[in-house]
Amino acid sequence: MTRVAGRSPHTFHIPVMGTGFMIDAPLRVAKYGITSVISLVDDVLIEQMRRFHCEQQGEPYEPIGDDDPNARARRITIYLNLIDRLVDREVTALQASPFEPGSEITRYYEMLPESPLLDAYRQMLASVDPQDRAARQSQLRELAVPGDIDVNIMSKGDRDAYSNGQKLPPQFSDALAALRGFAESTLSSSIVFSAGMNPRLYSYVAEFADFFPDQSGHLKKKVVLKVSDYRSAEIQGKYLAKRGLWVSEFRFESGINCGGHAFPTKGLLFGPILEEFQQKREELIADLHRLYVKALAQRGQTVDSQPLPIRMTVQGGIGTAAEDKFLRSHYGADGSGWGTPFLLVPEVTNVDREHLEKLRAATDQEVFLSNSSPFGLPFWNLRNSASEEARRRRIAEGHPGSPCTKGYVRLFNTEFTPRPICVASRQYQRLKLEHLHQEPLSEPQRAAVRQSVLDKSCICHDLAGGATLKNGIDPAATPAVCCGPGIMDFFKIATLEEMVGHIYGRLSLLSNPARPHMFLRELALYIGYFRDELDKQALGLSSSTNAYFCEFKENLKDGIDYYRSLADEFVAEAQTAFLGELERLRGLLEAIPVVAC
Task: State whether 336 and 458 are in the same domain.
Answer: no
455, pLDDT greater than 80: yes
Q: What sign for the dihedral angle of Cα 47, 50, 56, 59?
A: negative
**Domain stops at, among 180, 195, 227:** 180
> Nearest CA to 480 among 587, 379, 363, 345?
379
User: Does 491 map to a domain?
Assistant: no
166 contacts: CB under 8 Å, gap ≥ 6 = none
The strand ranges marked E within 374-500 are 379-382
Task: State whether 51 and 168 are in the same domain.
Answer: yes
Residue type, 310: I
Task: State whether 78 and 212 are in the same domain.
Answer: no
94, pLDDT greater than 60: yes
User: Does 186 map to a domain?
Assistant: no
- Report the b/e string of 530-543 with b at 16+ CB within 10 A: beebbeebeeeeee
> Nearest CA to 340 among 556, 518, 150, 108?
518
User: Does 502 map to a domain?
Assistant: no
597, pLDDT greater than 80: no
Q: Can you tell me the mean pLDDT for 14-33?
A: 98
509 to 28, 346, 385: CA distances (angstroms) = 21, 15, 23
Task: State whether 173 and 310 are in the same domain.
Answer: no
> Nearest CA to 358 among 368, 367, 371?
367
User: Does 310 map to a domain?
Assistant: yes
Q: Which residue has the higher pLDDT, 20 or 216?
A: 20
pLDDT at residue 165, as a whole number? 85
431, pLDDT greater than 90: yes
Task: State whether 451 and 535 are in the same domain.
Answer: no
Task: State whether 220 and 330 are in the same domain.
Answer: yes
Segment 100-129, tens digit of pLDDT: 999 999 999 999 999 999 999 999 999 999
Sequential DSSP letters for 470-492: HTTS-TT--------GGGGGB-S
The strand ranges marked E within 285-373 are 311-315, 335-337, 367-370
pLDDT band, very low/low/confident/very high, at 1 (cuts 50, 70, 90): low
User: Does 506 map to a domain?
Assistant: no
User: Does 498 map to a domain?
Assistant: no
**Domain stops at, among 293, 313, 343:** 343
Chain centre distance of CA 261? 9
Task: State whether 102 and 156 are in the same domain.
Answer: yes
Q: Could you give phi then psi for residue 368, rounded to 5 degrees? A: -145, 150
User: Does 260 map to a domain?
Assistant: yes
Q: Can you tell me the mean pLDDT for 411-438?
A: 93
Give the containing element (helix H, strand E) for 546. Answer: helix 546-566
Task: State whether 212 and 274 are in the same domain.
Answer: yes
Give the containing element (helix H, strand E) for 509. Answer: none
Task: State whether 309 and 212 are in the same domain.
Answer: yes
pLDDT band, very low/low/confident/very high, at 491 (cuts 50, 70, 90): confident
2, pLDDT greater than 60: no
Q: What percent of the chain has pLDDT over 70?
A: 99
pLDDT band, very low/low/confident/very high, at 7 (cuts 50, 70, 90): confident
Segment 33-64, tens digit of pLDDT: 999 999 999 999 999 999 999 999 999 999 99
Sequential DSSP letters for 3-60: --TT--SSSEEE---TTTTTTTTHHHHGGGT-EEEEE-S-HHHHHHHHHHHHHHHT--
Domain that includes residue 589, residue range: 514-597
pLDDT at residue 572, as a whole number? 76
CB-based contact 212:244 (threshold 8 Å): yes
Strands 247-253 and 311-315: parallel
Give the containing element (helix H, strand E) for 283. Answer: helix 270-298
CA atoms within 13 A on the CB side of 458: 31
pLDDT at residue 6, as a whole number? 61
Task: State whether 424 and 444 are in the same domain.
Answer: yes
Task: State whether 575 and 534 are in the same domain.
Answer: yes
> Nearest CA to 254 among 344, 337, 349, 363?
337
Task: State whether 561 and 580 are in the same domain.
Answer: yes
Q: Which residues does residue 335 pair with via DSSP β-bridges, in sequence order?
A: 313
436, pLDDT greater than 60: yes
CA-angle at 12, arms to 259 and 347, nearest 5°: 70
Segment 63-92, tens digit of pLDDT: 999 989 899 999 999 999 999 999 999 999
Dihedral of CA atoms 489, 492, 498, 499 in degrees, nearest 10, equals 40
164, pLDDT greater than 90: no
pLDDT band, very low/low/confident/very high, at 335 (cuts 50, 70, 90): very high
Domain count, the chain: 4
pLDDT at residue 400, as a whole number? 97
pLDDT at residue 69, as a whole number? 86
Mean pLDDT of the chain: 95
pLDDT at residue 5, as a whole number? 63
Sequential DSSP letters for 154-215: ETT--PPPEETTEEPPGGGSHHHHHHHHHHTSS--SEEEEESS--HHHHHHHTT-GGGS--T
* 226/48 Cα distance (integer angstroms): 28
User: Does 62 map to a domain?
Assistant: yes
pLDDT at residue 377, as a whole number? 95
3, pLDDT greater than 80: no
